[in-house]
Amino acid sequence: MSVSPGPSLAVIGAGVAGCALVARLVELGWKGPISLWETGRGPGGRASTRRSRLDRGLRIDHGAPLFNFRPGPLATPRALQGLIDGGWVEPWNGRIAGLDATGEVLAPPHDPLVEGTLYRGRGGMDRLCEGLLHQAGDAVVSHFGQLVRHLRAVPQGPWELVAADGEPLVQADWLVLASTLLAHPRARLTLGWDDVPLAQAAGTLADPRLEHALVAIASLRAEARSNLLLVAEGEAARLLQEMPFRLLLLDAAARQRWGLERIAVQPLEDGRCAVVAHSTSIFAEEHLDAYGSDSAIARQLGRPAAAEREEAVITALTAALHQALHPRIPYALLARCRRQLMRWGAAFPRGPGLPAALSLCPASHIGFCGDYLAGPGFGRVQGAWSSAEALAERLVAAAAAG
């Protein structure tokens, strides 16, 4: 009879928090099996990269174009230097500019996302999470392209993860949610679910601490984003690469005028140029029904893309991009570029966030990490990473205590 070397763990969400968590747990000596579950095609979450098997030169950082560490009480993550030394991430020294409502390019406005020391994934933002999983090694078994739809639990474990078709996926002694999708009531609205998976499971546990955490999570608000992904060739690529910036931050008046928040220009190695135009939250809220034809979660839920609705949003974002960049590039050139829509249903959490004291519920064997945890770094990669490393320390101690 085989005996497990330690408690098993299932982590849902392979963004920065989930990947940083498993890397730190392995470093701390977690002995049990670890499984990582992610709806997307690969790791990264909102710090992922759009790639194509049919177009090897394509690489679009369609969420976070970079990540930063602001000065303050948070220490730089332990794993960062190893990622730099291993060639997974590198300092980012691209030109950042601001844009006002008249279309004038000027000094960038205040934005916590670009303060402090800036980095990017070397060869794509997804390299950040790939590097963290590389540090974790074979101790972690990753499952990509898999939506966890239901959770089942008994006191003191195990937890069971269940697919949308009712097929059991895995049982684990401990569970960590590295995103709020399975715990927040918005899943009923945005995904059409008739229940909140963690709230449903918590009803069998009678754990006041977990109930408190669920109430706190339910009170969290998050802003959506509708992002235009554009790939330019020829003259359009040349004009875009000649822009006096690689990241353009729109001020408040410019955001209100054009419905865009920032524009990331990403030259590709083959001479083409990718551009990601990030909408404002107001624009995204008005177009929540347009998922984007490549949406992994919409595909797994069997939701067909509304082609006409999607095209209307792409056209509106293209027009806004042109107006913001006018007269630097003609609309006709932008309209001929390859264009896609990427919708983030919960791109940016809004405070105050889940209190760090509720990040672990030992009686229910469940933990939480991510940029939705309250404290320094809230809403950014820095907060997601630091919350994961802090939770790893607590998980190891709790598991040792039984």
| 149-200 pLDDT tens trace | 999 998 777 999 999 999 999 999 999 999 999 999 988 877 889 999 999 9
Is the confidence at residue 299, as pLDDT, over 70?
A: no
- Residues 275 and 265 sit within 8 Å (Cβ to Cβ): yes
H helical segments located in 106-244: 126-136, 186-190, 197-202, 208-218, 234-241
What percent of the chain clears pLDDT 90, i.e. is strictly above it? 83
**Omega of the bond leading into 185 within 30 degrees of 0 (cis):** no
What is the average pLDDT value for the chain, to the nearest integer? 93
Which of the two residues, 123 and 295, has the higher pLDDT score? 123
What is the distance between the alpha carbons of residues 280 and 260, in angstroms, rounded to a whole number?
5
Is the confidence at residue 314, as pLDDT, over 50?
A: yes
| 90-112 pLDDT tens trace | 999 999 999 999 999 999 999 98
**Where exactly does CATH 3.50.50.60 map onto the chain?**
9-48+129-220+351-401
Residue 72: pLDDT band by 50, 70, 90 thresholds?
Answer: confident
Instruction: Please list, in sequence order, all residues whose beta carbon lies within 8 angstroms of the beta carbon of residue 89, skipping any fewer than 6 positions away.
Output: 80, 83, 119, 120, 121, 122, 127, 128, 131
**Where exactly does CATH 3.90.660 map onto the chain?**
91-117+222-349
For 348, the token pair is: 């940016």
CATH, domain range 91-117+222-349: 3.90.660
Residue 300: pLDDT band by 50, 70, 90 thresholds?
Answer: low
Assign domain 9-48+129-220+351-401 one CATH number from 3.40.50.2300, 3.90.1150.10, 3.40.50.150, 3.50.50.60: 3.50.50.60
Is the confidence at residue 76, as pLDDT, over 90?
A: no
H helical segments located in 86-162: 126-136
Amino acid 307: pLDDT: 82
How far is C-alpha 24 from the chain's CA centre? 19
Instruction: Please list, in sequence order, all residues whose beta carbon lies within 8 angstroms of the beta carbon of residue 401, skipping any fewer than 6 positions away.
Output: 362
Sheet holding 247-250, edge to edge: 105-106, 96-99, 247-250, 260-267, 273-279, 221-232, 338-350
**What is the rounded average pLDDT of the residues 356-376?**
96
Residue 141: pLDDT band by 50, 70, 90 thresholds?
Answer: very high
Which of the two residues, 188 and 391, has the higher pLDDT score? 391
Amino acid 2: pLDDT: 47
**Ramachandran assignment for 145, one of left (phi > 0), alpha (psi -120 to 50 degrees), beta (any other):** left
What is the distance between the alpha carbons of residues 21 and 206, in angstroms, rounded to a whole number?
27
- Identify residue 148 by its one-letter amino acid code: V
What is the Rg, in whole angstroms, of the alpha carbon atoms belonging to the chain? 21
